[in-house]
Structures are given as structure tokens and as C-alpha cells.
Structure 1
């Protein structure tokens, strides 16, 4: 019998079918708008700044106080370097978590937001830094308020247009299945406990954010900034540390009280009692961006989820029409016990 062969073009190379091209279109569009276009803007801005180095003084203003007066200087060559490094790092941090899920068929509106944010932030940075260089050629001063205003407007406009033009990848079908309960005796006691944590990559990003904030605080103190600036930086650093402690790892417990999820720090603590559960389901694979719009403790529409990473989840439908889910290993076992406890509670008239 003849075997199927991939379609080929005039050059003899395989070509994509219409269905395959439609499936890949969201990834292609996201790559173009959120990665390639921002990288092109970064390269262009860096090249322009390098061309202006000959007209710049050795030391240029890099920071201004509230009165618009320069209060910090740096070598002129540091500006194009900062543009390239900070711009590329921004693109990587925003888009890296999205590329693989998109390639695997994930969907949802969050990819529009990420694409628009990537382009918008890069437009903001490139305009600010390039204008900073251009205005200081031949010793001129920088109209800080005007530059910031124009850069902000351009960033918002470009980000909004990019988000509007990006196609929304279709969300996948509901993959959750109803959990079947065990047979528990009226006086039998049972509990199930697990710890769920963020992936290594997500945890590394969180720790990297804390280290960056800590270094910023130290730099602010070491360079003699005002007490208010140092305190503000320290507060931000502590808030980031607190957020990490409260969202990177969670303890999950199923027992006679229902489903309880608490961070390893103790707070926040989320509980769904047995009498509030209508149905228990197992989702074999939660996709954080597509299903909940991100990582951590998320609320989107009628769904609330504890989503430290991608993976299987216990999902409960509540009497108020809302749902609650938690991504955790061995979710099927936890859901099976929870379903049994719910059934026994209903039979006992609780």
C-alpha cells in the first residue's frame, strides 16, 4: 500500500499543511512581535548610540533628581552597553516562559499581554536611552520630563497595537476528569499530604529577582542616596522576599476538613471544606499561562488556582459555582481520597 509523504515545494523540501500552519501561526506571530521586533529595536538603538559616541563627552548624565537636574554620571560607552544588556534581558525574562507552552499548543489571552508588554517595555527603554545620548551631544542638556512623556506614550501605543494584532491561541479542551471515590467506613480516618513547589527555572527567576533587588538596595545605600530612597529600596526587597516565601512552595492536605493548601511560610492558607465541594476532578496537566494566566496563586474568572508549575492538579467544583485547583504530584490519589470523603460526608448528612 502507498505510504503518505509530507507535502513538498518546488525545491523538494517539506512544506507545512494548512492545519499545521494554522496551529503554528500563534507561535510564529508571537516570536515576530514579542522577540524579533524588540531585538531589532534594541540593535538599532544600540547602533545609533554607538554612532553618537564621538559627539558625547567622556562622562554623561545618567540620572536626574525630581527637579530635573542631573545627579549621577557614567562613561558614555556605558549607555549603549546598558541598552543592549537590559533590553535583551527584558525580552528574555518576559518571553522565555511563553515560547515552549505556545509551541506545545497552549492558548489563552495572556500571550497577547506578554507580547505587547515585551515590545512596549523595549520601546520605552530604547527611546529613553537613545534620547539621553542624542540630547547630550555637544554638551546639551536632557529635557527629562518631555523625554519620559514621549517614551511612555510610544511604549503604551506600541504595546497596545502589538497586543491587539497578535492572534489569541485557542484554549485547549477541558482535560479534567471526575475522580472516583474510595469506599470509606463511617469511622475510618484517612489523610493525604504532599508538598508542591515551583520548577527549578521559576525558582531561579524568583531568586534572581530578589538578588537584583538586594543589590539595588546596597547600591542605593553605598552611593549616598537619600534615606527615603534607601528605605524604599529595602521595602521592595523585603516584599519580594516575602512574596517568594509565600508563593514558591505549598503544602497540600486532604482530610476530614476538606482540601487545605498553605504556603511553606504558613500564610496564605486556603481551605475548601467538604460541605462546600460539589465535585472532585483531576486535571492531568495544568498549563499555568493558558489555564490560569500565570504562576503562583491565581484567580481568573470563576477559577482560583495554586499553580507553582506545570503538572497534574486536583480541581474541585464548589457550591457557589466557582472552582479551586492545586497543581501537585500524585494528584489522582489525593483527588480520589477527597472524593471519598465528600461522598461519605453527604451520606452522613453533614
Structure 2
């Protein structure tokens, strides 16, 4: 059992735990909420928010999407829950790269999956798809790939995902590319650029777009049969009227995303530089553009150690194949960055 995490009473806690936007929410949401004629909340929402889907398509011209390819859900987690119901049954061979986003794997396990992940090796936890390709030679399977990886912040190369999708076409295997943190990368790097019917890409409004409270996610599918089944399997009216309208404003707020990307790179560079100065810490391979990283020490509960200086994080024990010697950190908000760096230096 993990040691209890306690924070000093005289220190303001710096939140580096959940993967929300370190800059907060875009300002456009506040003005919408305060508008007296914001929306009609008496009627049921549209079964599919066409205006939001059209806005997503227009905002990402490089993807060349039709609105029929876009499947809207209650956060990317809601998308993953429905995909698990459709693609996973008792005994389905599920693989991925571990550590990875735990909740997606749990949903697949609840639907009967047999989970056989590729275990990354400490301390670098460097991702290679070659073991996954070997698995696919022997097994018809579902591959769950969080890209960027959660918790390390690594980004599997687009050409490597294409190899997985092509291999999957040989034996009817599915590839789920979870791009919850995808807005920190360019559109041209998204797996949505790959036109494979067995590849489904999931996206979220909760990370780079700064709207976790709206619970909007979407998937992009190139398989019309899967899309039709998804629409039938998903609960009706999954996205509220207010959420859909606010989502449109969020998609249009391009300046906020650009500002977020710039800050994350600056902050993560500063965090990495300070961590490199500290003996006894190791940082897994990571992409400087992604706001999360995996930090480890040789022994002891690292979450408790960070809590002692008022820093909250996601304990490694929350991920398959990790323990409490590791944590996932998200870069702090701009007003807390210097204080965060000073506290790390004291450890």
C-alpha cells in the first residue's frame, strides 16, 4: 500500500497532476457564459452537433475531413468507452506500449480484453514499435497507442504508426491512436493524416484547448461501418447544447493554442534543465512540446517526496508497470513556474 501523500500546511500547493492546460481556459468561454442569450437549455441538444463538427473540419484544413468522418463524444474518454464496447469482447488480444493511459486499458479489460503490452525499459522508457509489429505477425489484435504517450510525453513517429496500420490491414487488426495531447503537435503530425480504415484517431478538448470542463472529445474514422455502429452504440444526446456552442468558440480561439504551445516549450525546457542538475533523478525520453514527463528515482515514494515541498503530481502506481518510485509531472502554470523550480532545487 502506498504511503499517504501529505502537503505542508504553510505552502501553497503547485498543481502538476492532471493533464489540463497550464494556462487555464480560453477567455472566450467566460464571455459566452455571461451572455444572456447564450443558448436554449430547455430543448434536447442535436443528436450530432453538426456546427461543431464543421468547425473542427474547417479549423484543420490539412486533414481534409468530411463531417461524416467525425464522431463526437463526451470527452475523449467517452469516445474510448464506446470504442471498447465495439472492438473488444471476451478474449480480444489487446496490446500497446506500457506505461500508457490506464483508464483506456481498464475499459478494454472491463469488456473482456486479454492485455499483453510491450513493457518499456527504465530509465529511458524509449518507445519502439518493432515489438508491436512482431506481436501483430502472430495475433489479430487491437493496438491502443496513446500518442503523445501518457505518462512519458514521447511521440511515436507518424511513419511508425503507418507501419502498424499497414500491418493491421494484413490480419484485420485495429489501431486506436489516442491523441488527447495531440493539440501540442502540428496538424501534419496527427495520425488523422493517415488514410487507413483500421485506424481510429481520438482527440480531446481537455488538454491543449484548455476546456476539460466541457467534456468534448471526437474520433476520426475512415471506416463507414464502424462509424455507423459507433453512432448507434453511443448514448443519445451525449453532448449538451451549451457544450457544443462553447466548443465552437474554443476551436476558433487559435491564438490561445499558439500561446499554450509556446509556454509549454519554454516551461518544459526550464523544468528539464533543473531536473538534470539533480542527482538521483531520471527523466524518461520525452518531447519538449508535450507538457507531461515521467520522473523517477531509485527508491522511495516520489509523490510523497514532492508533496513535502508542496508539489502535487500523478503517482507512478496509477499506471500499469510503474510504482511509487516514479511520477508523472505536468508543467506548472506560468505564475507558479519559478516557485516550482525553486522547490525542485531544494529536494
> Above 0.5 in TM-score?
no
Kindly name which structure, 1 or 2, has the bigger radius of gyration based on alpha carbons: 1
Higher relative contact order (CA 8 A, sep 6+): 2
TM-score normalised over the length of structure 1? 0.22
Structure having the higher helix fraction is: 1
